[in-house]
Structure 1
Amino acid sequence: MGVKERKQREKEYREQSILAAAKTVFLTKGLVAATIDDIAAAAELGKGTLYRHYRSKEDIMLALSEQAFRELHQRYVAAVAKGGSGLDKLLRTRRAFFQFTMENPAYFGFIAFFESPFSTNAPEQLADIATTTHQLMMELRDEGIADGSMRKDIDANLLAYSIWGTSYGMMQFIVNKGSYLMEPQHTDPAAQFEAYIMLLESGLRAPAG
C-alpha cells in the first residue's frame, strides 16, 4: 500500500470514528445540547483534529444523516427483493422504515434534522440518495399498476411524496409518544404503525374486478 492510499484509509477510519462517537453523544445528550467539545472528548481527539475533518456540528449531523439515508435505502432494497406484488413491496418498505426507526432512534433524529428548516445545506450525495429512494417508490407504483394490485388514478410523483410524508409523520408521532395530545394514549408502537399500514393499503389497493 502506498503512502497516499494509507493516508486516505487513515482519514476514512478517523472520520468513521468521529461519526460513531458523535452518534452516541447525540443519542445521549440530544441534537441541540450536544457540543463539538462533547464529540471531540468522546472520540478522544482535540477539537483542532476534529475540525480538520468536519467544520461544524451541523456538518457532522449531515454526515450522519447521509449514513442514515443510505442504510434506510438498503433496507428498502432488501424489502423489495423479497418479491410479491408492487403493493406488497411498497407496504414492506414502510414496515422496513418502522423497524429501522425503532432500531436506530439516533438515525431517525438525523433524518428529522435533514427534513427540518434548521438544516442550511444539503450535500449532493444526500440529495442523490433521497432522489433514488423517491424513484424506487414511483417504480413500485408502476409495478403495482402493471400487476393489478394498485389503483391507477394516483400520480407516481405525488404518491412517492405522500408515502414519505405520511410514514415520516407517523414515526414522528410514535417516537414522540403522541406528546401533542392532552392525554396520550399509550398504544403499542407496532400496533399503531400497522393501523397506518392498513389505511395505506386500503387507499392504494386496486378496486376488485
Structure 2
Amino acid sequence: MARVLDEMDRKILKVSKELFMSKGIRETEMKDIAKKAEIGRSTLYRHFAGKELIAFYIAKDILTELKNYSEDKLSQHKNLKSGYEKLASGMILFAGKLLESRDEIRFLDEFDQFFTDSYPESEEASEYTQFNKNKDMGIYQMFLEGIADGSVKKVENPEFEADVLVNAIFGIAQRIIPRREHYIEEHGYCDEMLEEAVRLMLLAIKA
C-alpha cells in the first residue's frame, strides 16, 4: 500500500526537489534539506531516512508529470481517428515536453546513475518499482488500439514494444538534452536528433 504523505512530507519533497534541480542529488545533503525546509534534522529523519529515499518520490513525480502532460494535451486532439494517429501525436508531444524539461531530464539522468546497483530495501523504492510496473500508460494503450484497428503493425508483445519506445525516447533525451550546447557545437544540431528518432520509430511501427 502506498504511503500517505502528510503536510510535512510534501514540504520536504518540495524543497528537496528544488535542491536536487539546482545542486543535484549527490551534492545535496540532508542538512541542506532541513535548512531549506526550516526544520531540525531530527524532524527530517523522522519523515525520510535519507536523501536517496526522497529521490524516489521526486523521480516518480517527474515521470507522472511528463506522462500526464502528453495525455492531457492529446485529449484535446479530437480529430485523431486511428490508434497510430494517436500514438504518433502522443510520442511527438512527449518528446516535445522532454525537450522543454532540461532540469527534470538532468535529474532523471543522475537518478539512474545514482542507482546503478540494487535499490535499497525501503518502502520508497518498492513504491517506485511498482509505479514503473504499471502499464496503463497512454502510449501502451494507443499501441494496443493501433494493432486492433490495423494502423500499427502486429507484434508478439505490445507491452514490451511500448516499453522500448518510451525508454528509447528517454534514453536519447537523457543523452542529448543536458548537453544541448555541446551537441550543437560538436554536431550542429541537438533537439532535431530526438525529433528524428521519434519519426523513425513511428515509421517502423506503422502498418
TM-score by length of 2: 0.78
Is it true that 1:194 corresponds to 2:195 in the alignment? Answer: yes
SS of 1:52 mapped into structure 2: helix
SS of 1:145 mapped into structure 2: helix
Cα distance in 2 between the residues matched to 1:91 and 1:128: 27
Cα distance in 1 between the residues matched to 2:130 and 2:143: 20
The aligned residue for residue 163 of structure 2 is: 161
The aligned residue for residue 6 of structure 1 is: none
Query: Any stretches of 5+ residues in structure 1 without a counterpart?
Result: 1-8
Q: Which has the larger radius of gyration?
A: 1
SS of 1:184 mapped into structure 2: helix
The aligned residue for residue 38 of structure 1 is: 32
Cα distance in 1 between the residues matched to 2:118 and 2:64: 18
CA separation of 1:119 and 1:180: change in aligned 2, threshold 3 A: farther
TM-score by length of 1: 0.78
Q: CA deviation at 1:178?
A: 6.8
CA displacement, residues 140-193 of structure 1 (integer Å, 9 cap, x when unaligned): 222112223211246312212211221111101222327998x7224142x232
Amino acid of the structure 2 residue aligned with 1:91: A
Amino acid of the structure 2 residue aligned with 1:205: K
Alpha carbon RMSD of aligned pairs, Å? 2.9
Is it true that 1:87 corresponds to 2:81 in the alignment? Answer: no
Q: Is this contact kept in 2: 1:65–1:114, CA < 8 A?
A: no
Cα distance in 2 between the residues matched to 1:177 and 1:167: 16
The aligned residue for residue 134 of structure 2 is: 132
Q: CA deviation at 1:62?
A: 0.8
CA separation of 1:132 and 1:79: change in aligned 2, threshold 3 A: farther
CA displacement, residues 122-145 of structure 1 (integer Å, 9 cap, x when unaligned): 634333432334654332222112
Cα distance in 1 between the residues matched to 2:173 and 2:84: 20
Cα distance in 2 between the residues matched to 1:103 and 1:45: 33
| More displaced stretch, 138-147 vs 121-130 | 121-130
SS of 1:176 mapped into structure 2: helix
Q: Is this contact kept in 2: 1:18–1:43, CA < 8 A?
A: yes
The aligned residue for residue 50 of structure 1 is: 44
Query: Any stretches of 5+ residues in structure 2 without a counterpart?
Result: none
Q: Is this contact kept in 2: 1:137–1:160, CA < 8 A?
A: yes
SS of 1:177 mapped into structure 2: helix
Cα distance in 2 between the residues matched to 1:154 and 1:184: 40
Cα distance in 2 between the residues matched to 1:76 and 1:127: 22
Q: Is this contact kept in 2: 1:151–1:205, CA < 8 A?
A: yes
Pick one of 59, 63, 70 that aligns with 2:57.
Answer: 63
CA separation of 1:198 and 1:63: change in aligned 2, threshold 3 A: same
CA separation of 1:104 and 1:52: change in aligned 2, threshold 3 A: farther
CA separation of 1:146 and 1:90: change in aligned 2, threshold 3 A: same
SS of 1:193 mapped into structure 2: helix
Amino acid of the structure 2 residue aligned with 1:95: I
Cα distance in 1 between the residues matched to 2:106 and 2:117: 13
The aligned residue for residue 176 of structure 1 is: 178
